[in-house]
Amino acid sequence: MKTKIKNFYQNGMKPKLKTFYHDVFKFPSYLIFHPFDGFYELKREKKGKVWVGFLFVILFILFRIHQYLNESIIINSRNPNNLNTMTEILTVTLVLAMFVLGNWSITTLLEGKGKLKDIFLVTSYALFPIVIIGFPAVWISNYLTMEEMGLYTLVMGISYGIAGWMLFLGILNIHEYGLFKTIITFILTIVAMAFLAFLGLLFFDVIQKVIAFIASIYDELRLRQWVKERL
C-alpha cells in the first residue's frame, strides 16, 4: 500500500505539483527580477498561461475583499457590514477589461506587436506582487502599533509599485516599443478607458430608458384592459 502511494506521488502528483509551482510562483517571480527575458519568454515561448492569469485576477479580487474586512482598524475606517462583494468583483473585472481592450485598440493603431491575449497576460501577471505581498501584510497589520503602521503602508506601496513596473515593462516588451512610445501608449490607453466607460454608461442609460418605455406601455395596456373590464 505504501509503495502504491509513493509511486502515485512520484509519478502522478509530484510532477503536477512541480508544474503548478513553476507556473503560479516561480515564473511570475522570475518576471519581477528578469522582466525583459521573462516577458520575452511569456510571449515568444508561450510560458504565460491564461488560467494562471485568471487565477491572479481572482486572487486579487479576494485580496481586496480580505483587505476590506481584515485590515487593521488603525487605518481601516470601512464598515465590514457595507461590503458589497459583487461591487468588488465588477469593479476589478471592468477596470481590467477596459485596460486590456483600451490598450489593444490603441496599440493596434500604433503597430504594436502584442495580441489581446498577450496584453491580458501581462496585466494579470502584474497583479502577482500585490497578491503575494498583500495577503500576509494585511494579516500582520493587525499586530502593528500606530507608529509601526507606516511600515505596512510602505510595504503595500512597494507591492503596487512593483506591479506598475511589471505592467509598464510588460507592455513595452510585448509590443516591442521604446520608452517614449510606451509612455504615450499608456496615456492614450487611459483616454481609451475613459471613452469605453462613457460608452458603457451611455449604453446602460439607453437600456434603462428603453426598459422604462416598455414598462410604461405595459402599464398603459393593463390600465386600459382594467377599464374595459369594469365597463
Burial class (CB in 10 A: 0-12, 13-18, 19+), 174: buried
| % of residues, the chain, pLDDT over 70 | 93
Q: Which residues of 204-225 are buried (b: 16+ CB within 10 A; e: fewer)?
A: eeeeeeeeeeeeeeeeeeeeee
Taking 60 as the threshold, does the pLDDT of residue 207 lie above it?
A: yes
CA angle 93, 99, 103 (to 5 degrees): 150
The length of the chain is 231
Query: Which ranges constitute the DSSP H helices of 34-77?
Result: 35-44, 50-70
Distances (CA, A) of 220 to 1, 104, 216, 227: 75, 47, 6, 11
Model confidence at 195, pLDDT cuts 50, 70, 90, reads very high
This prediction has a pTM of 0.85
CA torsion angle 3 8 9 12 (round to 10): 160
CA torsion angle 51 56 62 67 (round to 10): 180
Query: Which residue in 180, 63, 71, 80 sits closest to 127, CA to CA?
Result: 63
Query: Which ranges constitute the DSSP H helices of 80-127?
Result: 85-109, 116-125
Q: Are 167 and 122 in contact (CB under 8 A)?
A: yes
| Predicted pLDDT of residue 154 | 94
Mean pLDDT of 82-98: 92
Distances (CA, A) of 76 to 12, 89, 162, 178: 45, 20, 23, 40
Angle of helix 149-175 versus helix 116-125 axis, rounded to 10: 160
Mean pLDDT of 119-126: 96
Model confidence at 53, pLDDT cuts 50, 70, 90, reads very high
Cα radius of gyration (the chain): 24
Q: Is 12 helix (H, G, I), strand (E, B) or coil?
A: helix
Distances (CA, A) of 209 to 44, 214, 223: 47, 9, 21
Tell me which of 142-151, 204-213, 219-228 is least confident: 219-228
Model confidence at 159, pLDDT cuts 50, 70, 90, reads very high
Average pLDDT, the chain: 88
d(CA 191, CA 193): 5
Taking 90 as the threshold, does the pLDDT of residue 156 lie above it?
A: yes
| Predicted pLDDT of residue 214 | 84
